[in-house]
Amino acid sequence: MTATLPSYEDVLKAAARLEGVAHRTPVLRSSTLDTRLGAQVFFKCENFQRIGAFKFRGGYNAIAALSEAQRRRGVVAFSSGNHAQAVALAAKLLGAPATIVMPADAPRAKKNATQEYGARVIEYDRATQDREQVARQFVERDGLSLIPPFDYADVIAGQGTAVKELLEEAGGLDALFVPVGGGGLISGSALSAHAISPDCQIFGVEPQAGNDAQQSFRSGAIVRIAQPSSIADGALTQALGQLTFPLIQRHVKDILTVTDAQLVQAMQFFAERMKIVVEPTGCLGAAAVMNEAVPLKGMRVGVLLSGGNVDLASYGAQLAASDRLPPT
């Protein structure tokens, strides 16, 4: 893994690699929410991306940047779901064998999709095994190229193409809200926002139960926490990365948190009012906006909906158990 921080130039290179491969996902609006907040809110809907999440951008860019010899040998990745699917599909499109290290308790739908894309899935126990060590065994033994889920320059650059597209379509923004797990998405998003809309304030949002990024941001050093528990399964990282943390420090205004109940309320809003399915992790930024975690009146606000991969049984149960939204 290179220690060199990626730049907006790397995002532009990623955009060229992804042209005609990744979907240019829609930017949707809600007049109901705009009226409620007194703001203009632009949702970049990566739930409509290939594999159902923004992760395809970074996964494809990282594998496309490898040499032909590296692609022939194959790639290995570790992920709870969306990065797994992204690497599996990208590897298939680029002719590279893929091995994916996934937790045994990963959502079944994500595990099935990963295998359907042609990848070999190796399961591990979150409580007793280190996923990076499991993956590195394949690097050392078989010469596979490791594609980490967030702390990797080409992955970060690929993720940054989503906000590049958002700003090209929506124009300049006053604020941007981005989900935070390991920090790959917000790091790439920050590179694009800083280059295209430099006055835009960038806010990361993570689960309240796993606020390692918030603690790190406010203390000035990477804080590692115990394995968190939240319905936002794509944001259950324990620490930011060596590349993502300095980019967040450089470009992000603040890191906010939301509760699982607020995530469910956001999921319900998208299902009922906008007729789209957004997974809990994908709702992190939206939940912060809907609950006005910072003042937004009169502002142009971007929100990145990072994915829409849900287990339908869990999704239905979460919505059924939630309180009804208040009338608007």
Active site residue 206: yes
Annotated catalytic residue, options 55, 110, 111, 164: 55
Return the CA Rg of the chain. 18
Q: Which of 46, 151, 165, 212 is catalytic?
A: 212
Catalytic, 19? Answer no
Closest CA to 11 of 194, 179, 281: 194
In sequence order, what DSSP letters do the residues of 269-285 get, joined into one string? HIIIII-----TGGGHH
Nearest CA to 107 among 121, 94, 95?
A: 121
Task: Find residue 101's DSSP bridge partners.
Answer: 78, 122
Q: Inter-axis angle of helices 153-170 and 8-18, to 10 degrees?
A: 80
Q: Which one of 46, 154, 206, 279 is the catalytic residue?
A: 206
Closest CA to 281 of 226, 210, 217: 210
Asked whether 234 and 307 are in contact (CB, 8 A), the reply is yes
Per annotation, catalytic residue among 110, 204, 306, 308 = 306
Q: Hey, what are 110's tokens?
A: 């994500």
212 noted as active-site residue = yes
Active-site pick, 30, 79, 80, 197: 80
**Tokens of residue 12, six digits:** 């532009």
- Indicate the DSSP class of residue 39: S
- Residue 210 annotated in active site: yes
Q: Is 41 helix (H, G, I), strand (E, B) or coil?
A: strand
Which residue, chain included where needed, has tokens 């956001």? 266
Residue 209 burial (CB < 10 Å; 0-12/13-18/19+)? middle
**Residues labelled as active-site residues:** 55, 80, 206, 210, 212, 306
